[in-house]
Amino acid sequence: MVVYGFGAFVNNLLAAAIGGMVIVLNLGLGMSPALVGLLGALPRLTDALTDPAMGYISDHTKSRWGRRRPYIFAGAIAAGIIYALLWQLPRGESETFYFVWFLAGSIIFYLAYTMFATPWVAMGYELTPDYHERTRLMGTQNFVAQLAYVVSPWFLWIMNSGRIFHDAAGMVMMPMALGFLSVVLAVVAVGLGVLPAIVLRERMQRLAAVENVRGPSVGEKMKEFFRGFGATLSSGPFLKLCGATFLVFNGFILISSFQYYVIIYYVARGDQTLGAKYAGLAGTVGGVATFAVVAFVTWLATRIGKRRAFFVSTGVAMVGYALKWVCYNPELPLLTVLPAPLLAFSLGGLFTLIPSMIADVVDTDELKTHQRREGMY
């Protein structure tokens, strides 16, 4: 369970890092916030198209190493290398150059990221057939994954502190800090990301050896892909889980993206270093609190059911979001930390319970289609 959690740590680390580090394009390089927003959105559109394709490829792979492990191994290495290269920004270039550089690099990065993340998620759905053990598995991987959210809130403060990365005049060199930090993160991502592929064994590995013996043509494969895609979208329980994930996760990401600006320019009155410090404190408190939340939600789900436990965790998180209206106060800046433990119920409950429920949906899908299609989910 812990080794599978290393994949979750890499998943969260890269996701949190790219969200926190992209702010440097605005604060450090002066890029328009509108362009920064486009850089966050456009690559994810291609990512949305490649995810189901990668799931289909993984589901139908025949290999002595299984259906998931080869892609997890290669994807972790590729994603780490490309991530490090993405942030080696040349100095003194125009805003257009930085926009094109980051847009092209992000699209390539998310292709490699999809190669790693989609098979890794699918592997989690099939590791255990037990109803409650799935919740414990997802709780364990979420517990390990939260370590990323303990350290990632400090990335902006590290890049903005100027204690290490500065020029001869003592001015902060955020692009230099950005490049160094990305290399460190890439090394960690590769080192931990390959472990699930090396250590874990696939429960459904026999399918990689017996399915698709005839070798269908490209046209047949395309038809089969779209049939499978349509069957997935016709699953009512899956669509409900997708809707819940979309609302909870995107709400969290939307607020987190604006949070740095609100804390820096409102709570800290424009002091970037001080604002990054308060944001780091709030993020770390939330990350630490999530450890307790994951354990509590896992226990609660075995008592009242996964669905009700999800309602409880989301309800508590909503209280935390409401508190931000009061606690983001420039006169009492440390109150910024107060909502963090309640907000921990947001992702703490989401990534513990939703994957566990999707694994149950996959079993239902198998009864209907007589196929194991974890990758399509």
| pLDDT tens track for 87-106 | 888 877 888 998 999 999 99
- Bridge partners, residue 172, by sequence: 166
Provide the CA 159 distance to its chain's centre, in angstroms.
22
| pLDDT tens track for 30-61 | 888 888 888 888 888 888 788 888 888 888 88
Looking from the CA of 351 toward its CB, the CA atoms found within 13 Å total 23
* pLDDT cut 90: percent of the chain above it: 25
| pLDDT tens track for 289-302 | 988 998 899 899 98
* The pLDDT of residue 81 is above 90: yes
Q: Which amino acid is at 108?
A: I
Domain ranges of the chain: 2-376
* C-alpha span between 150 and 289 (Å, rounded): 10
- Res 203: pLDDT: 67
| pLDDT tens track for 155-192 | 877 777 656 655 554 455 677 778 888 999 999 999 99
Helical spans, DSSP H, in 152-235: 155-161, 174-193, 195-199, 205-210, 218-233
User: Which helix or strand (DSSP H or E) is residue 145 part of?
Assistant: helix 131-151
CB distance 354 to 244 below 8 Å: yes
| pLDDT tens track for 219-255 | 666 676 677 677 777 778 888 888 888 888 888 877 8
- Res 50: pLDDT: 87
Query: Is 96 exposed, middle or buried (CB count within 10 Å of its CB: 0-12, 13-18, 19+)?
Result: exposed
- Res 112: pLDDT: 94
- Res 216: pLDDT: 57
* The pLDDT of residue 318 is above 70: yes
Find the radius of gyration of the CA atoms of the chain.
Answer: 21
Q: Which two tokens stand for residue 171?
A: 């001015």
Candidates 258, 283, 301; CA nearest to 341 is: 283
The yes or no reply on domain 2-376 and CATH 1.20.1250.20 is: yes
Q: Which amino acid is at 239?
A: L
